[in-house]
Amino acid sequence: VLTGAGVSAESGVPTFRDAQSGLWARFRPEDLATEAAFRAHPQRVWDWYAERREKLQRVQPNAGHVAVAEFQSRHPDRLTLITQNVDGLHQAAGSPGVLALHGNLYEDAWLDPCALARRPADACAVTLAQPGHPPSCAQCGNLLRPAVVWFGEDLPQPALAAAQAAAQGCQVMLVVGTSGEVWPAAGLAGLARRAGAKVVVLNPEATALDGEAHALLRGPSAQLLPRLLDF
Ligand code: OAD
């Protein structure tokens, strides 16, 4: 199962590309979701992610997340869950081993290797956030950033490799709630199809991956997933 923002829509989490309510309809990704944007305006970008974190504290997994997690618990090791979502709702629903291709909104990472470290990446220590700045290292000034994948950045290699292996080895790939606009995640459907899997796209709207699908299920995932995975 490959999921995108649509699987969390019925939890009240905005998608990215919905023409009215999507985040990228209201904000420019190049202002908020690139390393260059963070370096230019670290506080603005940090605050935007902090606000998303705060809003996500108030949302719960929906029946779609729960249906996937329950299927996994009934059929251990039969379903690999790959998500582009950074909202942690699959994990909150109890799904084990989620391959989170775009990182996790709740985790932070250092922007740069520590400028003072002889051994990389383990020497920075967080100071308290000063007004107007994201949290930074007391010794070298390195900034903390959200541990999400920004445009132009590589995906976490172990998760991507595991996702590609799962796509190539599966019998059925269910593609849920993603526009299929963002690569390399979008490429997993074609990879699965070329390796012989049946591809099922579940989405209320047309997507860029419909051409890869053997079956299209038009509808919202919190309604359709519980029916589809009820065995
Ligand atoms: P998009 O916003 O591009 O697409 C959301 C999809 O969800 C659309 O195809 C909608 O039709 C569909 N959708 C809406 N409501 C739904 C519902 N109730 N049930 C099922 N589907 C529904 O989001 P993604 O494809 O996830 O990157 O976007 C991919 C990446 O682009 C994201 O991971 C994010 C973004 O920039 C990062 O955060 C790195």
Extended beta strands in the chain, E state: 2-3, 82-83, 99-100, 103-110, 144-148, 172-176, 198-202, 215-217
| Residue 191 binned pLDDT confidence (cut-offs 50, 70, 90) | very high
| Residue 204 binned pLDDT confidence (cut-offs 50, 70, 90) | very high
Extended beta strands in 96-150, E state: 99-100, 103-110, 144-148
Ligand 1 mean position, distance from CA 148 (Å): 16
Q: For residue range 150-170, list pLDDT tens digits in order.
A: 999 999 999 999 999 999 999
- Gap between the Cα atoms of 2 and 227, Å rounded: 17
| Whether residue 210 has pLDDT greater than 90 | yes
| Whether residue 131 has pLDDT greater than 80 | no
DSSP code string of 174-196: EEES--S-STTTTHHHHHHHHTT
Strands 99-100 and 82-83: parallel
What size, in residues, is the chain? Answer: 231
| Whether residue 122 has pLDDT greater than 70 | no
pLDDT at 119: 58
Q: For residue range 55-103, list pLDDT tens digits in order.
A: 999 999 999 999 999 999 999 999 999 999 999 999 999 999 999 999 9
State which amino acid sits at residue 73: S
pLDDT at 175: 98
DSSP letter (8 states) at residue 36: H
What residues pair up with 175 in beta bridges, in sequence order?
A: 2, 201
State which amino acid sits at residue 132: G
- Gap between the Cα atoms of 215 and 146, Å rounded: 37
Cβ < 6 A, ligand 1 pocket: 4-6, 9-10, 15-18, 22, 84, 86, 102, 148-149, 177-179, 181-182, 203-205, 207, 220-221
| Whether residue 26 has pLDDT greater than 80 | yes
Pocket test for ligand 1, best of 7, 16, 183 (most atoms within 8 A of CB): 16
pLDDT at 19: 80
pLDDT at 120: 59
DSSP letter (8 states) at residue 46: H
Contacts 24+ apart (CB under 8 A), 206-209: 207/175, 207/178, 207/179, 207/180, 208/179, 208/180, 208/181, 209/175, 209/178, 209/180
